Structure 1
């Protein structure tokens, strides 16, 4: 027996209401759950990227030690350019960028005379007058007050608020100078050092920008033949293809005075951001840069 029209209509309306109620409920659940799911996925991706970056940074740190050992052992001075010119290699999905700077090719803030200091500041883009003022301010900052006893000491407009009257302990102290506060620390480290302990600079190991300024003037403090290096900056950048993730390590090493093949880390160096580094053309095999044993480890790292 067929249902009466009014009963059938009522059941149809109830079914329609139930369907709408279910759809509304599903929308509410989706609106609540989906943001949590997206947030969880995003956090997972960020965590994975952070883990990968830490992994690559540890690899860069280890390879930096390998390079330091080669430099103090003597073989690295033939393998790597010593003027911050990049050397690169590839292993599987990873590429490696190494830069080595002999501190004999930098200007020592505590040993250089005012003329050599002025050349260093000129390489940063300062005009001659400002460069000379910065050089004089650096000498007053580092030197004992007795050297200037009885001399008027007007405050330099380009110098620091106060003179230290003791040797520079770090290149970063230059950022206390008003004219240098905005100069990136990487740029200062590319010109100056406190680790060479020499009043001369080896022009053939100077970075390109500094070398060009040294060649434009004459100074007895600028020599061509490089002396035996006592300190190096070692920077290593590791990239994984297609990921945009990099690992970086940079530090300054000094040779041991008692063991000619040993070294010690004296400080960290500010590694230039990988994105700012130009691509290196003509990468060699990693055996050439890091030796056979390290290259085998890198191949295992890829597997």
Structure 2
């Protein structure tokens, strides 16, 4: 009798243990995904906050560089041809690029020869570059209502010509042949702020300068001296050492004495592809790039 009762109790205890284990497995199967999801969301939120902080830092430094461009001191320490420069302050690394727009090709003022060389610097062969140049000229058209009608659209151009000046370099992406070209690459060659039909070789970006040097006998409208800059592109990337997160800020600015800062923004520039510029460019003291006051804030 006693032995039978003991066997029943042992059986009940075994069943209870199995039931508890099954219950714990069920609870774990429910709770663990929620815990993993919560941890993942927390990490993503922290990364977003870090990126936002770095972007704000980059924007502040872009304002510093823009102010230095307005008073002329930035061009003495930064090449105005998109050549990158970098500096380190503590655990932070900063990459800076500026571009004088007198070294870029104005979409509204350049002739077909200069436009075709710009498209060639993007990797298009000569026939395609010349066709794109003609398409750009047809796109901007002639605002004279009594002028001869524009030629029909080309296969590389947009579906319909605007018949008005380019307002932004981004309009080039309406061209079928340029739809997949990153906007940042187009901004490295073309502008709408130069208002000149010539290009200053001294301030042209390296890829464009190489193409122009190889086509020296093409009759393209270039000058050796760039003259006073009509506008500048300013780009700053901020990152924490050892982190894959980076913040970027980019603007097109012009001198504006009426402003307390001495400049005003004309537009934002598209974000560049994040690369390890600091590993491939000469690093210098942040005092030299941003000035002593800004460098002291960075060190703090």
Q: TM-score scaled by structure 2?
A: 0.93
How far apart, CA to CA, are the structure 1 residues paired with 2:147 and 2:159? 19
- Secondary structure in 2 aligned to 1:134? helix
How far apart, CA to CA, are the structure 2 residues paired with 1:249 and 1:270? 9
Cα drift, residue 154 of structure 1 = 3.0
Correspondence for 1:70: 68
Correspondence for 2:42: 44
How far apart, CA to CA, are the structure 1 residues paired with 2:227 and 2:128? 31
Correspondence for 2:222: 222
Where does 1:122-161 land on structure 2 (aligned, <5 Å)? Answer: 122-144=120-142, 146=144, 149-150=147-148, 153-161=151-159
Kept in 2, the 8 Å contact 1:94–1:238? The answer is yes
- Secondary structure in 2 aligned to 1:120? helix
- Secondary structure in 2 aligned to 1:265? strand
Distance of aligned partners of 1:52 and 1:150 in 2 relative to their CA distance in 1, 3 Å threshold: closer
- Secondary structure in 2 aligned to 1:20? helix
For structure 2, which runs of at least 5 residues remain unmatched after alignment? none
Q: 1:194 aligns with which of 192, 195, 199?
A: 192
Where does 1:228-247 land on structure 2 (aligned, <5 Å)? Answer: 228-247=228-247
Where does 1:76-95 land on structure 2 (aligned, <5 Å)? Answer: 76-95=74-93
How far apart, CA to CA, are the structure 2 residues paired with 1:129 and 1:268? 32
Correspondence for 2:103: 105
How far apart, CA to CA, are the structure 2 residues paired with 1:232 and 1:32? 56
Kept in 2, the 8 Å contact 1:119–1:131? The answer is yes
How far apart, CA to CA, are the structure 2 residues paired with 1:26 and 1:151? 80
How far apart, CA to CA, are the structure 2 residues paired with 1:114 and 1:283? 40
The answer to whether 1:212 aligns with 2:210 is: yes
Where does 1:230-269 land on structure 2 (aligned, <5 Å)? Answer: 230-256=230-256, 262-269=262-269
Cα drift, residue 35 of structure 1 = 1.1
Kept in 2, the 8 Å contact 1:158–1:179? The answer is yes
Q: TM-score scaled by structure 1?
A: 0.92
Kept in 2, the 8 Å contact 1:123–1:213? The answer is yes
For structure 1, which runs of at least 5 residues remain unmatched after alignment? none
Deviating 4+ runs (over 4 angstroms) = 257-261
